[in-house]
Amino acid sequence: MKKILLIGCLTLAAACQPAAPTSAPFSTPFATVQPPTVTATAAPTFTPTPAHTPTPIPLFFTENFDSDPAAWSSFQTSGESTPVVNTQDGSLSIDFSSPNTWYYAIHNAHDYTNVHVDAAFDSGGNEPLAMGLICMYSENKGWLEYNFSTDGTYNILRGEWLATGIARYTPIANDASEYLVPGRTEYEIGITCETKTLWLYINGKLFKKINIERYQMMEGKVGIAAAVFENAPATATFDWFKVSEPGE
């Protein structure tokens, strides 16, 4: 899972330039950002344009991927082609056609200081493939992500924008867990994000507590992440996504 990035703090440079995207479902609210060759330090700006005014989204909610997706926007930090994203039968599928592609979707309705996020995943037997959760997302401050891989490992990364579409990752934790079984395809994972601490869950079991005070991540948005490595094509599926108050 992002193993090529876990030696120190490495940059996904413009060598992985995606080609011009083709139209796909969710292409309007999921406005994909491509990494051009630039030297500016501004992070990408997401401007989804829904066809109608959506119903206000509560602070805490469950997304079953069967409603208006206008609150979501997406980007990728590498990959030669844009993944095809679809909602079908109450789930969100991300179809990867090119190897070494990292894809993100951010829920833009609210910023959170303390929040708990859960999701149910299915890797469909694809190996290696990584899926995860995002919290504290800010275009200026970066974000935190909790990923697990079908090889039985997990990691915590801090992502930061260096330029439009170019991200740097700082590894915070990278390890195996007895709760992650190599080859298993379905999981529920969760993360509680507070300003000083991350609490990591697998299938409802709290297994790790990590101090993040030094990163000064004070608030931000939540979202999901998925990545494919050498084995494209592959598909990652999210069955549901839940945002709740810590300790609920």
Domain residue limits, the chain? 3-34+60-244
CA–CA distance, 194 with 182 (Å, rounded to integer): 30
Tell me which residue of 229, 16, 242, 230 sits closest to 130, measured CA to CA: 229
116 to 102, 195, 221: CA distances (angstroms)? 23, 12, 12
pLDDT for res 18: 36
pLDDT for res 68: 65
CA–CA distance, 187 with 122 (Å, rounded to integer): 7
Each residue's pLDDT, cut to its tens digit, for the chain (248 residues) gives 443 333 333 333 333 333 333 333 343 233 333 333 222 333 444 444 445 455 788 999 999 998 667 899 999 888 889 999 998 888 999 999 999 999 999 999 999 999 999 999 988 776 778 999 999 999 999 999 999 988 889 999 999 999 887 889 999 999 998 888 877 778 999 999 999 999 999 999 999 999 999 999 999 999 999 999 888 899 999 999 999 999 87
Residue 34, judged by CB atoms within 10 A of its CB (0-12, 13-18, 19+), counts as: middle
CA–CA distance, 77 with 54 (Å, rounded to integer): 28
Q: Reduced to 3 states, what is the DSSP secondary structure of residue 14?
A: coil
| Residue owning tokens 């439009």 | 164
DSSP secondary structure letters along 39-108: ---PPP------SSPPPPPPSSEEE-S-S--TTEEEEEEE-SSPPEEEEETTEEEEEE-SSSEEEEEEEE
Q: Reduced to 3 states, what is the DSSP secondary structure of residue 30?
A: coil
Q: Considering the domain 3-34+60-244 in this protein, what is its CATH number?
A: 2.60.120.560
Sign of CA dihedral 172, 96, 31, 91: negative
